[in-house]
Structure 1
């Protein structure tokens, strides 16, 4: 049997909906997904991470406690993942752990993803690679999105111009053209505003299948007002996060209005679809769009995208990769690039001064 090179990828995204873990064989071409597991974030940890999205009293202390809790939760998910496989911790080359973003300010020269990687290595007995974004930012880049190079490795087609669209809390896209360099950038909000609004009004963490959005009416004047956000008109490279698209941003646009909550949700769904469609079409007309991330399950959002884009729009499952596991898969890939000393950023995407090896290593 050919030797395997096994890596685990971990991801908790802007949506804060859970921990995604995958086991990948990097010796295969293309890399092969061997196992996957998702687990909800512990409710106390989720609340801590949400609190850290905004300035707070004693936040250095709170961030360290949350980093410890995040890593302990990740360690339990890694152990549970391995129990579904014939492999042991000693078989794994490394864990690629994104950590949890609590600030993203590349224009000020920093981005911060918390997670106690030493603690994760200690509790799993596996080398950990983390802090993937800082080196790109140090080289003058945005530190995001980091996935276009991975998307190219996994999804590029010699016969089609593909867009890989990741809709997590924030939406980002990778343009994989047949005769042009890979490009990519954040388009704006994915699920983050919709998740916050439904939690505020119905207590749910997300709009299952987009059903609440589908029950409302899109408010054209509100949508037009939100689309005046300057971020949408910026040229790439660009990236964003909860630092911009948060409840206070939405409150500003709702000031003086008295709309039905379901209509606001419908309009937020349309905002995500419109900003994504505009971003894609600003680069050209693709042959197909493959969607990954939690947004792939939002049927109303997928319907709007299909209406607005002049090409097929489908889940990444249509090419054999379940949409829930693509981002975690990317961080397994990024970990392997770091361990083997290969650059992983795309300067044309992030704006960095050149290719860089991304990540720091906590050896077992």
Structure 2
């Protein structure tokens, strides 16, 4: 018999490299509907050493990546244990972890998330549900975005959900009640890099970008990238930034502020172009970019027909970790947690691996 309530930890580490997001959440299923309550939320920032390791991991060979995978799994266990102890969490049904994406090339048939080794369950002494993307890619899907099932089940009052994290992605139901979702463009993976050139981890409220001047040639080159003309399903990874955007940055030297101004305009234009909904659609905005006032101002300017709702900070910060908690719960219930209409996989399925302590179950 399936439970009607679960108390679980959800964990997310994104491409913006801010840190590990953790939530302790109660998920309840009553009368055919899911509801949630975030009991605790915390971001464990990465040290500069870990930030550099993760940023350069794309260059590692197989042996080096295996070593990093084990190191990161141990680090993740330490982070989870500290979270449990700090908040005195006595009732944890299981832990649901995304891991950290290093390589994402669904077009070549693979995606790699580190931190999903079986030893994680042993180290934290809790059942673990993890590694949600690989199965979808093996089924011909993009392995991303995975959050839309949570958008459908937890945030159905909105016409769409927009996440402004390392990359922007949007999720909504079409006229046939199929959930559609896809990555729109890079966001904080670009903005944070330029802010760090100015000595800041991120561009607080977009003040640096607002002080910059847009480079029209760079903006035109960015908007002309082939990805934006593709139809969904489609997804982005750091490889896209390295292979397509970094060369453009090198071609058009700017100050950090001018790069930021140009990137913000590019992001706003691509979001306005990429979201195709009826006028007055109500859109929930989460992810770190929701705190960037200047970015939101430009998005609202270019997509003036939509209503963008920014929730309380706890949901802005932890919506993805919350939904990975839900993905884990659905996996344990053997219910669909990945939508083929979103990823392009052969069929809807229940993705992820369950590791019991000393007993991995596939």
Among residues 297, 300, 313, which one is paired with 2:294 in the alignment? 300
The question of 1:8 aligning with 2:1 is answered no
Gaps of 5+ in 2: 358-362
Secondary structure of 2:52's partner?
helix
TM-score by length of 1: 0.90
In structure 2, relative to structure 1, the CA distance for the partners of 1:18 and 1:354 (3 Å cut) is same
Matches within 5 A, 1:339-354: 339-354=332-347
Q: 1:149 deviation in Å?
A: 0.9
Q: 1:178 deviation in Å?
A: 7.9
Gaps of 5+ in 1: none
Secondary structure of 2:349's partner?
coil
Q: 1:284 deviation in Å?
A: 4.2
Among residues 58, 75, 78, which one is paired with 1:76 in the alignment? 78
In structure 2, relative to structure 1, the CA distance for the partners of 1:9 and 1:286 (3 Å cut) is farther
Matches within 5 A, 1:115-126: 115-126=115-126
For residues 80-133 of structure 1, give each alpha carbon's deviation from its aligned partner in whole angstroms, at most 9, with x where no partner exists: 332354532xx3222111111111111111111111432321121111111101
Among residues 27, 43, 46, which one is paired with 1:41 in the alignment? 46
The question of 1:50 aligning with 2:60 is answered no
Secondary structure of 2:103's partner?
strand
CA contact (8 A) 2:73 2:114 kept: no
Structure-2 residue corresponding to 1:168: 165
For residues 138-169 of structure 1, give each alpha carbon's deviation from its aligned partner in whole angstroms, at most 9, with x where no partner exists: 11111100111111111112xx5x22111111
CA contact (8 A) 2:116 2:130 kept: no
Among residues 202, 205, 210, which one is paired with 1:209 in the alignment? 205
Structure-1 residue corresponding to 2:67: 65
Secondary structure of 2:129's partner?
strand
- Structure with greater proportional strand content: 2
In structure 2, relative to structure 1, the CA distance for the partners of 1:347 and 1:262 (3 Å cut) is same
CA contact (8 A) 1:6 1:26 kept: yes
Structure-1 residue corresponding to 2:223: 227
Structure-2 residue corresponding to 1:182: 179
**Distance across 1 between alignment mates of 2:57 and 2:51:** 10
**Distance across 1 between alignment mates of 2:55 and 2:254:** 26
Q: 1:222 deviation in Å?
A: 1.8
Q: 1:33 deviation in Å?
A: 1.5
Structure-1 residue corresponding to 2:236: 240
Structure-2 residue corresponding to 1:30: 35
The question of 1:279 aligning with 2:280 is answered no
Secondary structure of 1:151's partner?
helix
Q: 1:203 deviation in Å?
A: 3.6
Q: Which moved more, 1:131-140 or 1:59-68?
A: 59-68
Secondary structure of 1:71's partner?
helix
For residues 271-314 of structure 1, give each alpha carbon's deviation from its aligned partner in whole angstroms, at most 9, with x where no partner exists: 11111111113x54452221111111111111111111112223
Secondary structure of 1:186's partner?
strand
**Distance across 2 between alignment mates of 1:346 and 1:3:** 23
In structure 2, relative to structure 1, the CA distance for the partners of 1:354 and 1:4 (3 Å cut) is closer
Instruction: Figure out how many residues of one structure are paired with residues of the other and give that number.
Output: 350
CA contact (8 A) 2:331 2:350 kept: yes
**Distance across 1 between alignment mates of 2:347 and 2:188:** 32
CA contact (8 A) 2:116 2:131 kept: no
**Distance across 2 between alignment mates of 1:363 and 1:279:** 41
TM-score by length of 2: 0.90
